[in-house]
């Protein structure tokens, strides 16, 4: 025979009280965790926006940016015109210029031999 030192009603009351305490503890921890994450996210977004903000551009900065854009556009137009001019100066057939190894060797050796000739 096992002696019962605690009444069954008290045992039930104690277990239910502990369950309620656990539920309250989890709710408290989850609310604290959620508020902490919200605060961290808000601080992160604030710092990100704070450091990325450059403010309103001054008149000189606006003019400098505009001239930079204009120079970029003009350089692109000039490159396009140069390419168009070069394409019109190419051979009619559009084939690339032909050079072979013999011509390259002859050009290199010709300059070597003509430099060494003493008149």
Give tens-digit pLDDT for 64-104: 999 999 999 999 999 999 988 887 776 666 666 667 777 77
Give dist(CA 63, CA 16) in Å, integer: 75
Contact by Cβ (8 Å): 65, 57? yes
Percent of the chain with pLDDT over 70: 82
Structural domain including 21 reads: 8-77
- Is residue 64 in a domain? yes
Calpha distance 50→6 (Å, rounded): 63
Of the pLDDT bands very low, low, confident and very high (cuts 50, 70, 90), residue 111 is low
CA distance 67 to 61: 10
Query: pTM of the predicted model, to two decimals?
Result: 0.43
Q: What is the pLDDT of residue 37?
A: 98
Q: Is residue 55 part of a domain?
A: yes
- Look at residue 73 and tell me if it is in a domain: yes
Q: Is residue 14 part of a domain?
A: yes
The reply to whether 102 falls in a domain is no
Could you give the number of structural domains in the chain?
A: 1
Q: Is residue 82 part of a domain?
A: no
Is residue 115 included in any domain, yes or no? no
Rounded Cα distance between 85 and 76, Å, is 14
pLDDT digits (tens, 9 = 90+) for 17-72: 999 999 999 999 999 999 999 999 999 999 999 998 888 889 999 999 999 999 99
Question: In the numeric block, which tokens belong to residue 77?
Answer: 């137009």
């Amino acid at each position: 025979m096992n002696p019962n030192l605690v009444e069954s009603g008290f045992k039930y009351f104690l277990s239910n009280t502990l369950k309620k305490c656990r539920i309250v503890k989890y709710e408290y921890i989850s609310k604290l965790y959620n508020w902490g994450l919200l605060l961290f996210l808000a601080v992160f977004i604030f710092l990100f926006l704070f450091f990325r903000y450059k403010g309103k551009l001054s008149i000189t900065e606006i003019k400098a940016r505009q001239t930079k854009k204009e120079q970029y556009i003009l350089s692109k137009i000039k490159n396009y015109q140069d390419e168009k001019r070069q394409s019109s100066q190419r051979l009619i057939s559009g084939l690339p210029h032909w050079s072979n190894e013999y011509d390259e060797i002859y050009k290199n050796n010709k300059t070597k031999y003509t430099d060494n000739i003493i008149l």
